[in-house]
Amino acid sequence: MERTNVNPESIFTLVSDAILVIDEQGFVVAANPASVKMIGCSTEELIGKVHFCSICTGMATSREEASCTDCFANKWNVPSFEMKIRTKGGSEYPVAASSTCLLTPSGKQVIVIMRDMSQQQKAEGERFQRQMINYVIQAQEEERKRVSRDLHDGVGQALYSILVGLKVLDQFHLEHDVKEQLENVWKLTTHALNEVKNMAVELRPSTLEDFGFLPTLRSYRKRYEQQYGIEMRLATKGHKRRYASIVETALYRICQEATINAAKYSGTSLIDIEMEDSDGTVMLTIRDYGQGFDPEQFLSQGSGLGLYGMKERAGLLGGTVAIHSVPGKGTTVQVIIPLTEKGEPRNVDPDTHSG
């Protein structure tokens, strides 16, 4: 790095903030190297030739129509405001600025100091988007929990009461036909009760909170094999432990999505699930041996909501989901989430998960 004595002139040339001096008519009369770089034209093209209004597209703090009436150039000093700058190349970006008015022998001049805020605004936007996705996922989980409880305690209990009533009726001396009819109703009610129980578990298995991901996956396997007639093999390596609830829920939901996709679209008769917890990461691999597909086609069109959702869930926890698929050979969905010793996600922005 070049060694320079700091003096007022060198500050003007060395600082990374853009500094412009504008005369009373609004023309640029001085520009430091950072402002030349920001606006994208040479010092010669700027000085005395460029009117500030031709590079300013409005102050963000003003209402659109009042933008020019509120202009900082008409005021004495404005310590902090935001505006948009249009570069020579035509692109626009936001800047944080301050202005200072000076009275010089040649008239009033305004010094404008500007700092490029596009990176910060982009990062802020992304953080806001992640927070929104997190809220939506959390709200969805809460809603599923509520519907699951209502199904179990409401419809489930009502059906159970009907079964008890039928049992009582059965103890009366009934004619053969009536008894047969009663048996049919009993069977139908038992079937409905089982359906409701399954739906409640499918929506949000209570074992996830009580016993964790692996035991839940084991009971999921049983239901899955029965429902779809597809064999599911489970293999585990490394530590067996509990994870933070957000991690266990994400693993379960990703597993559910990938295995249901395999059942719906791949035509496979076997699914392998491998879970490995070692070196501070949990890795879950779901493999089918079906017809395969092109994941990029769905992800780039934004149509694969299930695929997108898997990626979002892992991304929120600082992890990744990779989908590899080979036509005729099958599909592998691999989730990797870096974790702390306590089983909390290691790479998350704490703000994203506040609340």
Ligand X SMILES: Nc1ncnc2c1ncn2[C@@H]1O[C@H](COP(=O)(O)OP(=O)(O)O)[C@@H](O)[C@H]1O
Q: Does 228 sit near ligand X (CB under 6 A)?
A: no
- Pick from 298, 315, 334, 346 the residue near ligand X by CB under 6 A: 298
- Report the nearest approach of ligand X to the CB of residue 180 (Å): 43
Torsion-angle region of 163 (φ positive above 0: left; ψ -120 to 50: alpha; else: beta): alpha
Closer Cβ to Mg ion, 261 or 331, answer by number: 261
Choice from 58, 94, 304, 343 touching ligand X (CB under 6 A): 304
Compare residues 95 and 314 and give the one whose CB is closer to ligand X: 314
* Interaction pattern, residues 20-49, with ligand X; x per rule: CB under 6 A: ------------------------------
Hey, is 323 helix, strand or coil? strand
Q: Which of 33, 295, 306, 309 binds Mg ion (CB under 5 A)?
A: 306
Q: How many CB atoms lie within 10 A of CB 276?
A: 16
Q: Which stretch binds Mg ion (CB under 5 A): 83-91, 178-186, 190-198, 253-261?
A: 253-261
Task: Specify the 3-state DSSP secondary structure of 354.
Answer: coil
Closest approach of ligand X to the CB of residue 299, in Å? 8
Q: In whole angstroms, give the CA distance from residue 70 to residue 47.
A: 25
Using CB under 5 A, which of the segments 20-28, 135-143, 189-197, 257-265 binds Mg ion? 257-265
Nearest CA to 213 out of 126, 140, 275 is that of: 275
Q: Which does 305 bind (CB under 5 to 8 A by kind): Mg ion, ligand X, none?
A: ligand X
8 A C-beta contact, residue 74 and residue 66? no
Asked whether position 305 contacts ligand X by CB under 6 A, the answer is yes
* Residue 6 per-residue DSSP state: -
Shortest Å distance, C-beta 207 to ligand X: 24
Residue 15, CA distances (Å) to 35, 76, 111, 279, 316 in order: 10, 24, 15, 44, 37
- What is the Cα–Cα distance from 120 to 83, expressed in whole angstroms? 14
Judged by the rule CB under 5 A, the positions of this chain that interact with Mg ion are 261, 306
